[in-house]
Structures are given as C-alpha cells and as structure tokens.
Amino acid sequence: MPFDRQMFFRTPTGAQVNLYSRKAKGRPRGVLQINHGLAEHAGRYSRLADFMSARGFHTYAHDHRGHGYTTAPGTIRGMFGAIDGARLVLEDVAAIHTRIREENPDLPVIVFGHSMGGIIALNHMLRRPQDAKAVAIWNANVSAGLPGRLAQALLAYERFRMGSDVPSRLLPKLTFQAWARKMPQRRTDFDWLSRDENEVDRYVADPLCGWDATVSMWQDIFEMIFHAAADHDFAALPRDLPFHLVGGAEDPATDGGKAVTNLAARLDRMGFSNLFAKVYDETRHESLNELNRDIIMARFADWADWVVTKHP
C-alpha cells in the first residue's frame, strides 16, 4: 500500500523536503525514520512502511537533497549542495527527526538507512547520539580504505577539470558499472540490485532512479564514509545502543557483505553490546526488494519489537 500522507516542508537549510508517512495500525509502539539510498527515492519504501505499520510502527521517509521531489536552493538532481553538502543533508535529516518528535513525543524512534542512506543514518547518529533508541544500517559500505582515498583524489581531479555540478565520469565506472559487470548473464545494468526481475524492471523504468550523481555529491558521500570509518567519532554513542546490520552475500556494493561484517566487528571491538548482524545468502543489494524480503522484514520487525519492549 502507498504511504498515508505526502507533505512538503521547509527545513532550516532552505530545502523544500518531500516527506511521506504511514500510521501504525492499532496502538502505535514506535517510529521508523527511513533514509533511502543513492539514485532512488523515499517512495520505494512503501512496502516496508506497510509491513511495519502492521507491527505497530509509524513510518516517515523523505527524499534527500538532490533526490526525488525534494528541492533545495542552488542544487540540481544528483547534488546535495554547492558547498557543505554532507552537512546540509544531515541537517535535513535532523529536521525530519525534530518533526517526528513533535508529532510523536512519547514514542521511541529507530533510525533506518539503506546503502547511502545507511551512511547518512550512521553519520546522523554520530552527530546526534541521543536522537534514537536504535539504528539500522543496511547494505552500507564504510570500509572504503585506500580505494576510497583514490576515489577522493579522482573526484578532486574531476572537480578541478569540470566543476562540481556535473555528473562524475569516473565514479560510475568504479561503482554501478563495475557492480553490473559482476552479475552473471545479466539482463540489465541494474541486476546487481536484486534477483527479483520485476523489482529491477521497476527501478529501470522509474524516472527518479538510476541517474548519475554529480562530482560534489560523490565527494560528500565519501566525506561521510570516512567520518563513519573513524573509531574516535563513535565516542559519544551509548555502548548499549542497539544496531541492526544487514547485508547480502551476493551484493557487489558491499563486497559480498564483507563491509557489513567489518562494521559489525568494529562495533564489537569498540564495546557495543547490542549488535544484530546478518549477511543473507544469495541476496544482492536491495534487501527490501529481494526474493527473500518477507523473511528479512519479519526478522527486522522482531528486532524492532525487542527494541521498544525489552531494551531499556
């Protein structure tokens, strides 16, 4: 089912944010704040919203800057902002959270993010560690290391040669196109998203999906990746904060889920005591659109139940 409500509101950054929400069925028990991935939009999360509604959770999902129907001064599709894009997108997320708190002052909030949205969600929690009762980071890669530094150098070169508000020519070759080549007998360039051909075809046909990000957006994403890769930036997070990490064993964007297990190992080493981490066999990048999505969502809903009922 679609979301119950669609609205636009202006954040302190000047962005006119497109926000969807869906109410819980029956007595609400919590709120899920969704952050979508790169080159897609929040409307694709209506299935999760419907599933979680049946389990007693309100859901909010917005289009990030440069995505979907959100607009912001001085930006175009595929661009967070002319300068300080990472800060601006995170301030928008914080504004959404404030809106959620105003509408649901007594309900616990779980912050959720898929892929780029997982990187954003994690950075949001590092900036505002008391905002949520738990955080779910799915199919995200914050293990960039030396390849990430090389990507930053290439992006700096592109920015010098072409500017910041044009699509990167090099990063798609190292990401989306490289991931596509790893799929055996692929029908489309986006088979790496899911084994479900219908879901892949919906993505390909969606005019709000599949575009190339600008040089500046890629730079902003890597800025957030390396912020989340620094252990010292986790110092303010409560060590009992529940984390829910999900990956796919056939997801080239996370090196077959290794980036997910690496993050879990880091969190464990830093002393986080409430970790759920699962890399699902035969699963590609979009866990919510995979053939085994009902199992994945059911396990997530069980975890969310635990968060709001048993976790202090």
Q: Which helix H or strand E contains 177, and what residues bound it? A: helix 176-181
> What is the distance between the alpha carbons of residues 164 and 153, in angstroms, rounded to a whole number?
14
> What is the distance between the alpha carbons of residues 262 and 295, in angstroms, rounded to a whole number?
23
Q: What is the pLDDT of residues 165-192, one digit of tens each?
A: 999 999 999 999 999 999 988 999 999 9
Radius of gyration of the chain (CA): 18
| Size of the chain, expressed as the number of residues it contains | 312
Position 112 scores a pLDDT of 98
Q: Which whole-number Å values give the CA distances from 164 to 39, 78, 144, 172, 242, in the listed order?
A: 17, 11, 22, 15, 37
Position 310 scores a pLDDT of 82
> What is the distance between the alpha carbons of residues 272 and 279, in angstroms, rounded to a whole number?
19
> What is the distance between the alpha carbons of residues 111 and 130, in angstroms, rounded to a whole number?
11
Position 164 scores a pLDDT of 87
Position 157 scores a pLDDT of 92
Give the residue-averaged pLDDT of 129-158.
93
By percentage, how much of the chain surpasses pLDDT 70? 99
> What is the distance between the alpha carbons of residues 259 and 277, in angstroms, rounded to a whole number?
11
Give the residue-averaged pLDDT of 93-110.
97
Compute φ and ψ for 279, nearest 5 degrees: -105, 115
Q: What is the pLDDT of residues 50-87, one digit of tens each?
A: 999 999 999 999 999 999 999 999 999 999 999 999 99
Position 108 scores a pLDDT of 97
Fold of 5-144+226-309: Rossmann fold (3.40.50)
Q: What is the pLDDT of residues 260-311, one digit of tens each?
A: 999 999 999 999 999 999 999 999 999 999 999 999 999 999 999 999 998 7
Q: How confident is the model at residue 253 (pLDDT cuts 50, 70, 90)?
A: very high
Q: How crowded is the C-beta side of 257, counted as CA atoms within 13 Å?
A: 17
Position 78 scores a pLDDT of 96
- Do the beta carbons of residue 307 and residue 133 sit within 8 Å? yes
Give the residue-averaged pLDDT of 107-125.
98
Q: Tell me the pLDDT of the chain averaged across its residues.
A: 96
Structure tokens at 24: 């819980």
> What is the distance between the alpha carbons of residues 59 and 100, in angstroms, rounded to a whole number?
9
Residue spans per domain, the chain? 5-144+226-309
- For the entire predicted model, the pTM comes to 0.97
Looking up tokens 């929400």, which residue turns up? 21
